[in-house]
Structure 1
Amino acid sequence: MKIIRGLVAAVLILAIGAVVLIVALPGEKIAKLAADQVKAMTGRDLTFEGKVGISWYPVLGVTTEKVSFGNAAWSERGPMFTAEKAVIGVDVMAAIGGDIRVKNVELVAPDVLLEKTADGRVNWDLSGGAAVVGGQTTSAPSSGQAAPPSAPDAATGFESFALERLVITDAQVRYIEHGGARQELSGVSLEMAWPGRDKAADIQIEASPFGAPIKVDATIAAPLDMISGSVSAVELAMKAGGGTARFVGRAGIAPEASGKLDVSASDATAFLAALGTGGLEGPLAVQGDVTLTRDGVVSVRGGQVAALGNALSVQADVNLNSVRPKVAAQVATQTLRFAAKDGGESAASDSTAPVGWSKAPIDASALGLVDGTISFAAEAMDLNGITFGKTRATVEIDRARAVATLQEMAAYEGAVTGTFVANNRSGFSMRGDLKVAQIALHPFLAATADLDKFTGKADFESRFLSSGESLDALMNNMSGDGSVEIGRGTIEGIDLDKLLRGDVTGGTTVFNSMVASWDIADGVLTNNDLLMSLSRLAATGKGTVGLGLRTIDYVFSPQLRGPDGPSLIVPVKITGSWSNPSVVPDLEAAIKRSFDTEIKAVEDEAKQKLEKELGLEKQEGQSTEDAIKDKLEKEALRGLQNLLGGN
């Protein structure tokens, strides 16, 4: 019973002591003490407005109404932050002993303003407010300001400062670059645990700037070093959209950082969407040594990126002090693979599905993310079934316009060089000026146009221009011109020699050479000068190829060679779709040509007889019709002279 009575007495004494402490606790003094400590640390004013009251739960201390924290001297935008309410907690045991020490601070609904000037100064750099010398801290008041008033803890600044807990809820953060970007972030929560000046600080931040939650856990080994403008060892881990990012190294508030970055996301779409970007699907992994300098340059060395089924090596320098980040990078890979989102598999399995180009919208927004120069190297590429070998290229990007220069590209036993331009400044457009040397027609046309009838190697030049929001629109809006020269090759499905001898059962045409040129307008390629040379034949051709509709309407005109010119011509019509063209002889045209030849022979014989009977004397180059006309005019003139009595 004595023990129980003793415990009851102890509880009563503590309760009475707590009540007395709460009643006697100097709230204004605590608020002033907090302001003095902040002034000593940062050189800026912490101002409390309105009534200051006592708080005993969940922390013992004071509550204030609106509170504000001063901005950098060069800023003209008001306080760096304001909060609707603040709760300042103190060390209870120290307070009982008469020593008031601030340990906890809670801020409700603060509005935080972060600014960066054109010359790189930032308002969150608090290093000018205090300097740590030999373990002591001195405040450096700005010109025209008095030193902060003395207080039990402020006198030594950081030496006795211990903010065990900082809590910020429902914060709004505004970021402004003078003459540049403006961004806002709301609903931010932060909690920091910092046991003492020689201890590490643990920080947790949560926000949902783009709908999905982002959580950041950070550990700062030496917070005082960071506050004073130096760097500290840090570890940072971020979780977003099912992915994680981890940074281990050193960092400062300048901002500056150097260390290892490791990003891993099983779903790149969800991870990047949480960060307000996109453009990737499937898993994503990024590793490398990253450095951020005080002048806003990010460097990546030994970077490894795994995305879209590709593994890339990256070295890059990115200058952030521009309207868009300016990049100088080198990217290399063993094999680059790219597959279209719709893939075409579903259409292939459905026999009723129309055959054509994809109408899926082209997302070219990535062109506007950065400016700069990117060098690219790959030993092989597979671009949705179109394959290339060793490739070396440079891409220059300026205001959403990219110019790719191909220094080297191996393609289907040949080589491709030239330039390709993609422009997304006001709708998507593209332009190309390409030269191809000795490309193998059979695999190339099979991969790019579903044509497997031609063999041989070709040299060609092509210039094209188009605009549109899908591949279908681009192909239907195409314009340009070009030419081709092909050496010895074949055309499967037709034997022109057998055709001229009346055999229409197909076969293979072997030719020695082929040349042609073309013009493109509104997605239709027109050719009128094809010339093919065979051992016993020659062939000409003209017609159109629908690049947008993937159709062909073309006429080959093979002809037997005779001593006085072609002795027999049988045109061949090629019509229909690229995937299943119809190849048939145009017998009607052949018969008409034969009749035309016979009619011309009869006409020539009649004219000769008429010239002989009329005794016409034709001048060189004069037609029979003109000779008859001249003779009639002369006879009429002679008759008129006789009528008038002339000689």
Structure 2
Amino acid sequence: MRLIRVLLGAVVVVVVGLIALVVLLPGEKIAQLAADQVKAQTGRDLVFEGDVGISWYPVFGVSTGPVSLSNADWSEAGPMFEAESAAIGVDVMAAITGDIRITKIEAVAPVVLLEKAADGRVNWELFPAGGEAAPGASTATSQRQISLESLTVKRARLSYVDHGGDRFDLDNLDLALAWPGADAPAELSMTARPAGHDVDVTATVGQLSALMNGDVSTLVTKVTAIGGTVDFDGRVGIAPEMAGRLVADLSDATVFMGALGLGGGVPGPARFEGDVTLTRDLAVSLRKGVITGLGNAVQAEADVALGGVKPVVTANVVAGRLALGGAEGEADAPVSGAGGWSKAPIDASALALIDGQIEFGAEAIDLGDMVIGRTRATVKIDNARAVATLHELQAYDGVVTGSFVANNRSGLSVRGDLNVAQIALKGLLGASAGIDRFTGKADVVASFLSSGASQYDIMNALSGSGNVAVGRGTIEGIDLDKLFRGDTSGGTTVFDSMSASWSIKGGVLRNEDLLMELPRIVASGIGDIGLGQRVLDYTFTPKLRSEDGSGLAVPVRIDGSWDNPRIAPDLDALLKQNLDEERKALEEEAKKKLEEELGIVKEEGQSTEDAVKKKLEEEASKGLLKLLGNN
């Protein structure tokens, strides 16, 4: 019992002595103790200005006026941390044993500057990796442990400066950190207001001391803002590096991005989930990615290298059915007239944002006016030039292969080389040009080239060439058989085959060899199709078949706009053609009479003109001989 009383008495003496030490020790000495410990651990200068007050209940510590923490020795931007006032509480017993156990830090209106040097060094590496002492730290203190039980920050300003890249600032930031011990998880909560709305962040850091020493730690975090939430569960390091599952569940992606102070985002709900990895050399990978938005869902895997001048992307994107038609704002785009091409400037700046290669596949794509089927394509982007290679594009019962190039290196230009096999004309022409009078399956080979700042400019500067061959089909709105019987009331023409070639210059397609075969009729065509102005100026001439080729022909004129073309017999051409036929008939009759009167007998293959000429030469020779007296 006596031994116990002695021990209790010793404890009381120690406690009373410590209380007396706290009461009698000046505040400046406490501040200096804290500054010395920080210097020993980090090599940084912790500076207190103004009066330093001491508190001993309920927490031993100091309250200060302005306080600052020096920056990395390579920085010239001033302190890394400074605040109008601060309160710091420490565990005296832990300090006596050599560790730093901070029980409380409160900071009012602090300014935090995070910097990344052009060579990759960062100023927030306060504790050297691998247990080495910081510059200025003793080997005795470099092994001490640090913990922070409570950190409260109000009205903070955070600035991030990348001397080789971007800068951003966050104002009016509130933060609270609870870290009961070096081996215990740290709980973090933060509220930022980058665009006036609260953005709340909660996080659990599994090994904060390891994280601060340059190692990795488990991290579970959640970002909540108006419009949605983002969750991450994985491991992180301040290198930076991370690996884990990322899930973004957004009720309105545009609103959420706006709350973060960022533009973009798709309107309406969207969701992203996938396994994300970021390595120290700024290589990002996505695996098992699923992205939904605008009623669509795609699966994606990607690798992105961020260490260069621009991101280099290698990705594989697979979708089921995509609905991409009816984009918001299309109705307001200025156009050249009713049914004309849009004059709205085309923003092709996105071509310069990345380089790389993207593999794409979809079972169907609904573009609004046009629906295409199974699609397999590769897009390669290099210095604002994208080349899309179509391995397979099923559309309107046919298959399209080829390539398409969009080049925005010095103004936007486009080029295409396409091969189309057995595509249905009615669906294709109806969707692309508003022309629904033709049916049949077509094989097409086409190339085109153009440049311009809008759809209107591109279509009016178009050049190229191509040819088409069509099997059995129809032309609605005209019946050639009825036309030859004098009936111009319309109907449908059924043909056995059709072929044509064309050239394009200045947005005008020129065709001179259209040939259409029918059982009783053969038809030809010649004229222009204004791809830029969306007008037609074409003459289509059907002709009754006959053995001698003299069958009746009825030219048909097709002109006007694509939306409402005029189709009618060309009476002027028909009259001229009939007069020509009558003239030819009269000429033949006159030649026969002349031959009979002159007694001309034509040799095989000899024309009437040649026979008459020879007869006249013979008669002239006879007359000349008589004149010379030669019988």
Using the size of structure 1 for normalisation, the TM-score is: 0.80
Partner SS for 1:378: strand
Cα gap change, 1:266 to 1:473, in 2 (>3 Å): farther
- 2:144 pairs with 149, 157, 166, which one? 157
Is the contact between residue 30 and residue 62 of structure 1 (CA under 8 Å) also seen in structure 2? Answer: no
Question: How far did 1:299 drift?
Answer: 1.6
Partner SS for 2:214: coil
Question: 2 CA distance for matches of 1:240 and 1:326?
Answer: 30
- 1:268 pairs with 228, 239, 253, which one? 253
Is the contact between residue 129 and residue 215 of structure 2 (CA under 8 Å) also seen in structure 1? Answer: no
Question: 1 CA distance for matches of 2:274 and 2:341?
Answer: 39
2:564 is the counterpart of 1:587:
no
Question: Larger deviation: 31-40 or 249-258?
Answer: 31-40
What amino acid is aligned across from residue 104 of structure 1 in structure 2? I
Structure 1 residue aligned with 2:8? none
Partner SS for 1:324: coil
Structure 2 residue aligned with 1:237? 222
Is the contact between residue 34 and residue 102 of structure 1 (CA under 8 Å) also seen in structure 2? Answer: no
Structure 2 residue aligned with 1:45? 44
Is the contact between residue 31 and residue 52 of structure 2 (CA under 8 Å) also seen in structure 1? Answer: no
Question: Larger deviation: 422-431 or 489-498?
Answer: 422-431
Question: How far did 1:372 drift?
Answer: 1.4
Partner SS for 1:569: coil
Q: How does 1:325-336 map to 2 (within 5 A)?
A: 325-336=311-322
Question: How far did 1:528 drift?
Answer: 1.9
Cα gap change, 1:330 to 1:155, in 2 (>3 Å): closer
Is the contact between residue 53 and residue 64 of structure 1 (CA under 8 Å) also seen in structure 2? Answer: yes
What amino acid is aligned across from residue 248 of structure 1 in structure 2? D
Cα gap change, 1:92 to 1:174, in 2 (>3 Å): closer
Structure 2 residue aligned with 1:147? 138
Structure 2 residue aligned with 1:596? 580
Question: Larger deviation: 168-177 or 549-558?
Answer: 168-177
Question: How far did 1:360 drift?
Answer: 5.0
Structure 2 residue aligned with 1:568? 552
2:282 is the counterpart of 1:296:
yes
Structure 1's unaligned 5+ residue stretches are: 1-19, 132-138, 348-352, 643-647
What amino acid is aligned across from residue 44 of structure 1 in structure 2? G
Structure 1 residue aligned with 2:509? 525
- 2:267 pairs with 260, 276, 281, which one? 281
Cα gap change, 1:200 to 1:566, in 2 (>3 Å): farther
Question: 2 CA distance for matches of 1:116 and 1:249?
Answer: 27
Structure 1 residue aligned with 2:3? none
- 2:159 pairs with 170, 173, 180, which one? 173
Cα gap change, 1:418 to 1:229, in 2 (>3 Å): same
2:89 is the counterpart of 1:90:
yes
Question: 2 CA distance for matches of 1:171 and 1:498?
Answer: 84
Question: 2 CA distance for matches of 1:423 and 1:26?
Answer: 72
Question: 1 CA distance for matches of 2:168 and 2:608?
Answer: 88
Question: How far did 1:415 drift?
Answer: 0.6
Partner SS for 1:318: strand
Structure 1 residue aligned with 2:208? 223
Superposed CA deviations along residues 443-497 of structure 1, whole A, max 9, x for unmatched, are: 2222222222111111101222334444444434433222111111111121112
Q: State the number of aligned residues.
A: 588
Using the size of structure 2 for normalisation, the TM-score is: 0.81
What amino acid is aligned across from residue 106 of structure 1 in structure 2? A
Superposed CA deviations along residues 591-616 of structure 1, whole A, max 9, x for unmatched, are: 11111232345456668889999999
Superposed CA deviations along residues 218-257 of structure 1, whole A, max 9, x for unmatched, are: 2212211211222222111113441211111221112121
Is the contact between residue 80 and residue 113 of structure 1 (CA under 8 Å) also seen in structure 2? Answer: no
Question: 2 CA distance for matches of 1:614 and 1:84?
Answer: 125
Question: 1 CA distance for matches of 2:352 and 2:172?
Answer: 28
- 1:386 pairs with 370, 382, 385, which one? 370
Structure 1 residue aligned with 2:464? 480
Question: How far did 1:531 drift?
Answer: 1.4
Is the contact between residue 68 and residue 79 of structure 2 (CA under 8 Å) also seen in structure 1? Answer: no
Structure 1 residue aligned with 2:359? 375
Structure 2 residue aligned with 1:61? 62
Q: CA RMSD in A?
A: 4.0
Structure 1 residue aligned with 2:105? 104
Question: 1 CA distance for matches of 2:58 and 2:541?
Answer: 96
User: What percent of counterpart residues are identical?
Assistant: 45
Cα gap change, 1:557 to 1:406, in 2 (>3 Å): same
2:243 is the counterpart of 1:258:
yes
Question: How far did 1:22 drift?
Answer: 11
Superposed CA deviations along residues 557-596 of structure 1, whole A, max 9, x for unmatched, are: 1112222324221111122333332211112210111112
2:169 is the counterpart of 1:182:
no
Cα gap change, 1:188 to 1:465, in 2 (>3 Å): farther
Cα gap change, 1:344 to 1:507, in 2 (>3 Å): farther
Is the contact between residue 83 and residue 107 of structure 2 (CA under 8 Å) also seen in structure 1? Answer: no
Cα gap change, 1:318 to 1:501, in 2 (>3 Å): same
- 1:503 pairs with 481, 487, 503, which one? 487
What amino acid is aligned across from residue 280 of structure 2 in structure 1? R
Structure 2 residue aligned with 1:551? 535
Is the contact between residue 40 and residue 137 of structure 2 (CA under 8 Å) also seen in structure 1? Answer: no
- 1:465 pairs with 449, 456, 467, which one? 449
2:296 is the counterpart of 1:320:
no
Is the contact between residue 335 and residue 381 of structure 1 (CA under 8 Å) also seen in structure 2? Answer: yes
Question: 2 CA distance for matches of 1:357 and 1:516?
Answer: 26
Superposed CA deviations along residues 97-129 of structure 1, whole A, max 9, x for unmatched, are: 9x99562142635251321545x5544334416
Question: 2 CA distance for matches of 1:53 and 1:360?
Answer: 65
